[in-house]
Structure 1
Amino acid sequence: MRVGAHVSISSSKATSDSVTPPHENIANAVFRQKEVGGNCGQIFTHSPQVWKHQEITDEDAATFREETEAELDGPWVIHSSYLVNLCTPKDGLREKSIDSMQKEVDAAARLGVEYVNVHLGAHTGAGVEQGLENAASALDELDVPDGVTVLVESDAGSGTKLGGDFEHLATVIEKADLDIDVCLDTAHAFAAGYDLSTAEGVDDTVAAFDDEIGLEHLKCVHLNDSKHECGTNKDEHAHIGEGYIGEDGMNAFVNHPDLAEVPLVLETPNEAEKGFEWDIARVKELREN
């Protein structure tokens, strides 16, 4: 079972009071993943709130690759900046988004990271059809290195954001010349109206994904419970089994036979009293049962 969390690469914070990362570089992510019991996971390569990308030295990249190979099963996923908007009709924002994504796929190649995950973004008035066309053409501007795949992530679907409907993701895959796959976020899908709170609902959602997109495109799952009810379009994550998806839904999802080989990455609340280690252990318990 491949399960892990979105962990920090910063050297300024340790994941416990008594242990500090042994390396002052991006390899901190490997240390943190091991500490919470994960064997795969996700990172930001820089602050997701700014356009500026931090430098990754050759030495840091080599350390990350070596420690990943020695300590983890993989894969790693790089999550793109929150500022990236592939659907935008604004030329300036589009150019910045493409530039940022190019830096991410290049960083992934240097780090030996298999996937770069991105939200489609919002059409901001251009309309759904034009927004999806914009996203596909923006992705086609990228020069993606061999061994790296871009994943488009399912969205909660609030406002003019696209990706809440599986058909949106399928359309971008169809329109783009670039080979693209998908990351399914369970909290986002639930918020967008796909009911994952029961075994029947999980079966229906997996079937809908397969019909619209194809399960062969599902390369990663962001496994999150939801603090809000199905169909509310509200994106706020809860601990595994403690939100509106609940234990029954999470149990059905992690044990679904069509999802057994898909890596699970948690973006659940990482609080002092209950964090990634608790949630990863909970997922493993559910899979065992």
Structure 2
Amino acid sequence: MRIGAHTSIAGGVSNALEEQLEYDGNCGQIFSHSPQVWQDPSVEDEEATAFRDRSAAADVGPWVIHSSYLVNLCTPKDDLRAKSIDSLQQEVEVADELDIEYVNVHLGAHTGAGVDTGLDNAASALDELDVPGDVTVLVESDAGSGTKLGGEFEHLATVIERSDEDLGICLDTAHMFAAGYDLSTAAAVEETVEEFDDVVGLDSLECIHLNDSKHACGTNKDEHAHLGEGEIGEAGIEAVVSHPDLRDLPFVLETPTEDGRGFAWNVKRARELRQDA
């Protein structure tokens, strides 16, 4: 089972690998810089070499770079669009330098331009990227609040269809649940997986952000909970990590650190809930 957490690059990107090993994770996710500011990622050659070599030696991977929270591919504003494209371009270049397979991005919000225009904007923005051959951009599902896009499977399918880029999808279990896709029982998980396959296609699914939800299905509220202890619950998380169409994908945790528990507890919990094929 490929299960890991979002770890920190503080002190050098190779430290994210060491932190991952502390959690007993064998895949993971990082930010290449602070996600709340426009900032150029800066990775020294020595750090990059250490990260690549140590990850390979420890068999930790795949890794994902999560793009800045400021990126908005759907925006109708030219200046924000240009900054978003530039930021994402730098992310895919750093991913290539680190031998990281995936860069994950939210579509963003159309802020009044309308759903169709927002999706057009996102697809055309992605087409402006020069993505290295060994890197894949993943569009992440969203909780769907306000004018944010990506909460509906149709949004994801439309961007894939309209873009010339070879995109993948990252599904976030808490986001899907918040957006109205039930994952709380084995039957609900099966129905949701079938719907995703019908609308988007399982061949596009590359990664899962594995999070429980503190809020009920369809509330559009994005707040993560420990695995099995939120509104998705134990039966739902068990069904996700055991599902034959999902079980071989990398699972990345973005669960909270609270109640004396953190990523290590959730990595262990995911493995406990996983049922044999």
TM-score, with normalisation over the residues of structure 1?
A: 0.94
Structure 1 residue runs without a partner (length 5+): 12-24
Q: Which amino acid aligns with 2:181?
A: Y
Deviation at 1:73, TM superposition (A): 3.5
CA distance 1:198–1:288, shift in 2 (3 Å): closer
Deviation at 1:270, TM superposition (A): 2.3
> Deviation digits for residues 11-31 of structure 1, max 9, x if unmatched?
3xxxxxxxxxxxxx2100100
CA distance 1:2–1:161, shift in 2 (3 Å): same
Q: Choose which of 125, 135, 152 in structure 2 pairs with 1:138.
A: 125
Q: Which amino acid aligns with 1:223?
A: L
Cα RMSD (Å): 0.9
2:57 counterpart of 1:70: yes
Q: Choose which of 42, 49, 60 in structure 2 pairs with 1:55.
A: 42
- State the alpha-carbon separation in 1 of the partners of residues 270 and 49 from structure 2: 31
SS at match of 2:207: strand
2:77 counterpart of 1:82: no
Pairing 1:248-259 to 2, within 5 Å after superposition: 248-259=235-246
Pairing 1:155-174 to 2, within 5 Å after superposition: 155-174=142-161
Q: Choose which of 92, 95, 108 in structure 1 pairs with 2:82.
A: 95
> Deviation digits for residues 109-168 of structure 1, max 9, x if unmatched?
000000000000000000000000000000000000110000000000000000000000
- State the alpha-carbon separation in 1 of the partners of residues 126 and 35 from structure 2: 19
CA distance 1:159–1:203, shift in 2 (3 Å): same
| Matching residue of 1:19 | none
Deviation at 1:174, TM superposition (A): 0.3
- State the alpha-carbon separation in 1 of the partners of residues 68 and 130 from structure 2: 18
SS at match of 2:131: coil
> Deviation digits for residues 61-97 of structure 1, max 9, x if unmatched?
1111001101133100000000000000000000000
Deviation at 1:53, TM superposition (A): 2.0
2:141–2:170: 8 Å Cα contact kept in structure 1? yes
Number of matched pairs: 276
| Matching residue of 1:6 | 6
4+ long deviations beyond 6 Å: none
- State the alpha-carbon separation in 1 of the partners of residues 8 and 22 from structure 2: 12
